[in-house]
Amino acid sequence: MYGSDTNVSKMKDKHVILSEWVNPTKKCVYESEDELFTGQISAVQKPACCTENMLSSLKETMDSLREEMKIMMHTLKEMKDQQETRFGNFEKDMSDIKITICQLQKTNEVVDDSLDYLGKKCSKLENAIEEANNVIKIQENKIKDLSQKNVYLEKYNKALEERVCMLEQKGLDCNIELLNVQAPEGMSTIQIARAVADELNLCPEKNYQGLEIGKDKGWEGLEANNCHTSNT
C-alpha cells in the first residue's frame, strides 16, 4: 500500500549514497595525520566529480518520494472517505436506533397505561367477586336456615294433616245424616233433634254435639251450625 520493497531498497541505496556524499570520510580509516589530510582532500575532491550522479540520484529519490507521497495521500483519502462513509452510516443507524427507541418508549407508555387500567379493573373485579362471594355465602346460610325451617314446617304440616284427618274421621263418626226426612213445619232444629233423640232412645242425661249438614244438602229450616241436644 505504501510502496514496494524495491522502492524501499532504492530509498535505502540513495540514502547510503547521500550519506557518503555528505560525509565521505566515514568509510575511511586513517592511521596518521598525513593520511587524514590526504583523505580529507580526496573527500573534498570526490563531490566535485560525482555531482551530476548525486543530483540525478537525489532527483530520482525525490521523484520516488513524491510518488510514495501521492500513493500515501491517495490511500489516506480513500481511508478518510471510507471512514466518513462509515461514520455517515453510523450516524444514520444511530438516528434510526433513536427513532426506534422513541417509538418503543411511546409503546411502553401505552402498554404501561393499559396495564394500569387493567390492574385497576382487575382490582374492581376482585372486589366485586369478593362481595358476590360474601352475598352467596349469606344466601347459602339463609337457604340452609330456610331448609331447616322447611323441614320443620313439613313435619308440622304433616302433623296438622294427620290431625285434620283424625278430626275429619272423628267428625264423620259423630255426624248423623238423615236421608229423605222432611222437615216438619213449625219445628226448630233443636226440636227436630230432640224428636230424633226420642226415636233413638238416647239417654237424656248425656249431651251430644251434632253438626248440621242439612244446609249443605239444600234443606230449609236448618239455621244453627251446631247445637247441644238433650231431653231435658
In a domain, 161, yes or no: no
Residue 96 lies in a domain: yes
Chain segment 175-186, per-residue pLDDT in tens: 555 556 566 666
C-alpha cell at 122: 382487575
The answer as to whether 25 is a domain residue is yes
139 in any annotated domain: no
**22: Cα separation from own chain's centroid:** 88
Residue 4: what pLDDT? 45
Q: Is the pLDDT confidence value at 134 over 90?
A: yes
Grid cell digits, residue 82: 471510507
Domain count, the chain: 2
- For the segment 16-32, the average pLDDT, to the nearest whole number, is 44
Asked if residue 159 belongs to a domain, the reply is no
Same domain, 19 and 100: yes
Say whether pLDDT at 91 is over 60.
yes
Report the length, in residues, of the chain.
232
Average pLDDT score, the chain? 71
In a domain, 113, yes or no: no
What is the rounded distance in angstroms from the CA atom of residue 191 to the CA atom of residue 56? Answer: 181
Would you give the distance in Å from CA 59 to the centre of its chain? 82
Q: Examine residue 76 and state whether it is found in any structural domain, yes or no.
A: yes
Residues in CB range of 36: below 8 A, 6 or more apart: 30
Determine the pLDDT at residue 81.
Answer: 86
Identify whether 137 is part of a domain: no
Q: Which of 86, 106, 126 is the last residue of a domain?
A: 106
Q: Any idea what DSSP says for residue 179?
A: T
Q: Rounded mean pLDDT of 21-34?
A: 44
46: enclosing H helix or E strand? helix 33-174
**Distance between CA atoms of residues 142 and 129, nearest Å:** 19
Residues 97 and 13 in one domain: yes
pLDDT of 43 higher than 50: no
Q: Which of 168, 183, 185 is nearest to 193 (CA)?
A: 183
Span 51-69, average pLDDT: 86
The predicted model gives 95-113 an average pLDDT of: 90
Does the pLDDT of residue 6 top 70, yes or no?
Answer: no
Domain boundary among 82, 106, 130: 106
Q: 36 is in which domain, residue-wise?
A: 5-106
